[in-house]
A and B are shown apart, each in its own frame.
Chain A
C-alpha cells in the first residue's frame, strides 16, 4: 500500500509541474535544484494550491480527483505541513501554537498526546514562551510539534534545515527519525541539500524543471539511472548505517561495524556522543573526495580505515571519475582521470578504499 499516490499537473506562467508519484511509508526525500517545483508539489498535496488536473490519494483514500470533481480542502486532508520559516502564530504562546490544530479535531483519540509531543521534541521549557523568544531550531521543533498534534496521516516538510546552522541540523534530524519510527507517520521532506537529506533517508525522489527524474534508493539512482548530474550539484555524500561495536578508550577511537558485520571502521571517539552505547545504530557520512583508492592494503600509513572491495561501476564526468565500490556496502568515490589511468582502474577490479577516521561525520 502506498502512503501517497498522486498524478498532478499544474502550470504557472511558463513553468509546468507534471508528476506522477507513489510514495511509500517511511521518509522520502524530495530533492531538486531551486525552481524544480518541490514546494509547488507540497502545496498541491496539502491543498494550498489547485492542480490544473490530476488526482491524489492518501493510503488509498481519494482526496482529489479532477475528473470526478473531488476536492478535499486543506483543513480536512489531515496532512501536517512544516513550513520553511516555521510560521508560528506570533500572538500565541508556544503552548497555544502547539494546541492550535486540536481545536478543530473531532474528539476521537488523538494520534499523539500533548505531553508526548513535549517529551519527544523536548519542548517542556518552551511552552510559555512566545515565538519571538525562540531560536531557529526551537521554532522548527515547535512547528513540527504543532503539525503532529493536528493528528496528520502524512507529514510534509519544506526545507526543514534551511533556517538552521550545521549544529542545529544535526539536532533536528534525530527528532525526525524518531517521529517516523515511533509514530509511523510517512514523511515527505523537501530539500535542495543532498547531504542533509541523506542523513535522514536514502529514499529519494528527484525533481527537475517540474518533472520526475527518478525515484528510488540513493545508490541505485546513481548506479542504475545515472542521476549523478542532478545530485552532484549540492555535493555527493556516502551515508552508511553502522552499529557501535566497542569503544577503544585508550586510543580515543570507536569501532563500528556495518549491518552484516563484514566490515568495521574506526571513528574518533569524540565524534560519537556519550549517549551512544554499544549496539546503537548511527549514520556515518563520508565525502567521496575523502576516500583514496589503492591496489593493495598499506600497513605503514596513518590511515586507519582500509576496506577491500570491488569496483562495480565507473562514471566519467568531465575530468572526474566517480567509482562505485562494493565493500560489503556501496561507496561512491571520486578520483581524477589521471589516477584512473595510472592505476588502470576498471569495473570488476579489486581495490582498497582508504579514509581517515577524521574524515567521518557521525549522525546519531
Chain B
C-alpha cells in the first residue's frame, strides 16, 4: 500500500521532465498556432485545403511514423539535422529538444483546431466596426478578436499541454527513452511495464497520468463552454 505513493527518483524525474516538455511545447506552439488559426479562420486563399491537410496530418498519422519523419529530417544524418550539426554543432535527435519538438508536431493540429474554432465564432463584423473606429488590423485583433476568443485559446493551450504529456510514439523514435533526458511519464510507464514485478511502480505513474490528463480535459471543456456563453 505505502509503495503506491512512494515515488522513486527516476519516476519523479520522469514527472518533472514531462511537465517541462509539455510546458515548453505549449508555450512555443501558442503564438504560431494563434497566427495560423487566425489566418485559416479569416482568409481564403488557393491551396488552403492542402495547408489544412498538412497541419492535421500528425493527427491521423501513426505517431511512430511522425517520429520517423522527424528522425529523417533532424537526425545527425538527416537533411536539416546534418546541416545544424555541421555548422553549429547542434544535435537535436535523442535530446530534450527532440522530446519537445516531437510533442509540438503531434499537438500542433489540436491547438490550431481549438483556437480556430473560437476565432471563427467571433463576428468579423466586430472587427470591421473596430476598423471604422480607427483601429488597424493588428489593434482590432488584439482588442477585439483575441479577448473574445481567449477561452478557446486557453483551451487550446491546455489541450496542447495534455497531448504533450501523453505523447509516446514520436518521442520514443525521435528522442529515445533516455532516463533523465527524454524519458517522460509514458516512456517511463512503458519501461516499468516491460519489467516483471514492477506493477506498483507502473500504477503510480498511471495515477499521475490519469490525474494530469483528466484535469486538463475538464479545464478545456469548461473553457469551451465559456466561449459559447460569451457569444
A146 to B231, CA, bound (A): 21
- Interface SS majority for chain B: helix
> B99-140, CB under 8 A of A: which get 1 and which 0?
000000000000000000000000101101111111110010
Chain A CB within 10 Å, residue with most, of B125, B130, B132, B144: B132
Set A81, A103, A105: member contacting B132, Cβ < 8 A: A81
**Which bracket fits the contact residues of B?**
10 to 19
Knowing A48-B128, A81-B129, say if A91 contacts B147 (CB, 8 Å): yes
Knowing A87-B123, A87-B125, A90-B148, say if A48 contacts B135 (CB, 8 Å): no
Set B123, B132, B148: member contacting A79, Cβ < 8 A: B132
Residues in A neighbouring B147, C-beta threshold 8 A: 91
Within 8 A of A (CB), among B20-61: none
**Is B2 interfacial (CB 8 A cutoff)?**
no
Residues in A neighbouring B132, C-beta threshold 8 A: 46-48, 74-75, 77, 79-81, 147, 150
Q: Is the CB of B125 within 8 A of A100?
A: no
Set B131, B135, B139, B230: member contacting A90, Cβ < 8 A: B230
Q: Is the CB of B230 within 8 A of A85?
A: no
Set B126, B129, B134: member contacting A104, Cβ < 8 A: B134
Chain A CB within 10 Å, residue with most, of B128, B139, B147: B128
Within 8 A of B (CB), among A76-116: 76-77, 79-81, 83, 85, 87, 89-91, 100-101, 103-105
Knowing A90-B148, A91-B147, A91-B230, say if A73 contacts B131 (CB, 8 Å): yes
In the complex, the number of residue pairs spanning A and B with C-beta atoms less than 8 Å apart equals 61
A89 to B143, CA, bound (A): 10
Question: Chain A: how many interface residues by the 8 Å CB criterion?
Answer: 25
Residues in B neighbouring A100, C-beta threshold 8 A: 130, 133, 135, 143
Q: Is the CB of B131 within 8 A of A101?
A: no
Chain A CB within 10 Å, residue with most, of B123, B129, B135, B139: B129
A185 to B162, CA, bound (A): 55
User: In the complex, which residue of chain A has the Cβ closest to the Cβ of B131?
Assistant: A74
Knowing A89-B144, A90-B148, A90-B230, say if A83 contacts B129 (CB, 8 Å): yes
Q: Is the CB of A150 within 8 A of B133?
A: yes
Q: Is the CB of A91 within 8 A of B148?
A: yes
User: In the complex, which residue of chain A has the Cβ closest to the Cβ of B150?
Assistant: A91
- Expressed in whole angstroms, the minimum distance between the Cβ of A310 and any Cβ of chain B is 48
Q: Is the CB of A101 within 8 A of B134?
A: yes
A76 to B134, CA, bound (A): 6
Within 8 A of A (CB), among B132-189: 132-136, 139, 143-144, 147-148
- Expressed in whole angstroms, the minimum distance between the Cβ of B42 and any Cβ of chain A is 14
Could you tell me which B residues sit within 8 Å of A by CB distance? 123, 125-126, 128-136, 139, 143-144, 147-148, 230-231
